[in-house]
Amino acid sequence: MSLLPLEKAALGAICALGLLVLATDIPSRRAPHAPAAPPPTPMALATAAAEARAAAGREEAARATAAARAEEARLAAVQNPPETAEALPPGHGREEVFARCTACHSTAIIRRSGLQPAAWDELMDWMTEKHGMPPLEGPDRALVVDYLARSFPPRRAPRAANPFLN
Per-residue pLDDT tens over the stretch 26-78: 666 666 777 888 898 999 999 999 999 999 999 999 999 999 999 998 887 77
pLDDT at 4 over 60: yes
For position 9, what pLDDT does the model report? Answer: 81
- DSSP code, position 6: H
Buried b (16+ CB within 10 A) or exposed e, 92-124: ebbeebbebbbeeeebeebeeeebeeeebbeeb
State mean pLDDT over 152-165. Answer: 74
For position 34, what pLDDT does the model report? Answer: 76
For position 14, what pLDDT does the model report? Answer: 85
State mean pLDDT over 9-36. Answer: 73
DSSP string, 42-82: HHHHHHHHHHHHHHHHHHHHHHHHHHHHHHHHHHHHHHSPP
For position 23, what pLDDT does the model report? Answer: 67
For position 66, what pLDDT does the model report? Answer: 94
For position 18, what pLDDT does the model report? Answer: 75
Maximum average pLDDT range among 22-26, 33-37, 151-155:
151-155
State mean pLDDT over 132-139. Answer: 92
CA atoms within 13 A on the CB side of 39: 1
What is the rounded distance in angstroms from the CA atom of residue 50 to the CA atom of residue 42? Answer: 12
Read off the pTM: 0.49
pLDDT at 148 over 90: yes
Please tell me which residue, 21 or 68, carries the higher pLDDT value: 68
